[in-house]
Amino acid sequence: MNDALDLSLLKDSWRALERKLERQHALELARLRARGFSRVRLQLFPLWLGALATIGIGLALVVPAASFWIAHRHEPAPLVAGLALHLYGILALGFGVGELVHLARLDFAAPLVALQGRLAALHEQRVTGALWLGLPWWLLWFALPLCLARAFAGIDLYQRAPGWVLGNLGVGLVGLVASLLLVRRLRRRAPAPDASAFGFFLGRARRELEELERFEREG
């Protein structure tokens, strides 16, 4: 009788200890998640600023460029240069807004796997945006001075120095095609990295989530 009672008490004590350990583990996990998510939010803050800056660049280009090419729509070179800058401004606005949408969709109450998927999608968005916003400058770098010269000095650089404009256009096209081929080759070998400063912060945020996931899995 006593042995059975002692065994029952032992089982009750063991179950109580298990529940206490489970509660302690749950509390520790909750504290760890809270600290980890705070660090993730801190790492993502520069990306919010970067997305807003991209939108600002887009806004700074769209309206002036539209006004410029409309005013010079009968002049081929200024028209093309103005349209190119206008389209680039729209592109910058699109990618800036898209990045803000990705950031706003991050749900820290969701499972870690879902949150990691969102960060992976944000990474892909940033890599794609970097290509679309970076590669056009092979051509835009001389479209900008062409517009500025016409707008502020009344000089049509294409009429004044067509060889310079066409030469730079040729060099830009060769550089653009070479860059596209290089990017295509590199992306076949491995996932494209985000080499920007903002990519560094995004990488640290993803590593924070990986550490949380490892703790949950091992716990």
Give a three-class secondary structure readout of 84-136: HHHHHHHHHHHHHHHHHHHHHCCCCCCCHHHHHHHHHHHHHHHHHHHHHHHCC
Q: Retrieve residue 217's tokens.
A: 């899995």
Phi, psi of 155 (to 5 degrees): -105, 130
- The predicted pLDDT at position 28 comes to 66
Residue 139 · residue 179 · CB < 8 Å = no
Per residue of the chain (219 residues), what is the pLDDT tens digit? 555 555 566 565 667 656 665 666 566 666 777 787 888 888 889 999 999 999 999 999 999 999 999 999 999 999 999 999 999 999 999 999 999 999 998 888 888 888 888 888 888 888 888 889 999 999 999 899 999 999 999 999 999 999 999 999 999 999 999 999 988 887 776 565 555 555 677 888 888 777 777 776 665
- The predicted pLDDT at position 63 comes to 93
Overall number of domains in the chain: 1
For residue 27, how many other CB atoms are within 10 A of its CB?
10
- The predicted pLDDT at position 19 comes to 67
- The predicted pLDDT at position 67 comes to 95
Residue 166 belongs to what domain range?
Answer: 2-218
- The predicted pLDDT at position 95 comes to 94
Q: Whole-angstrom Cα distance, residue 214 to residue 202?
A: 19
- The predicted pLDDT at position 78 comes to 94
- The predicted pLDDT at position 2 comes to 54
Q: Whole-angstrom Cα distance, residue 32 to residue 144?
A: 50
Phi, psi of 107 (to 5 degrees): -110, 105
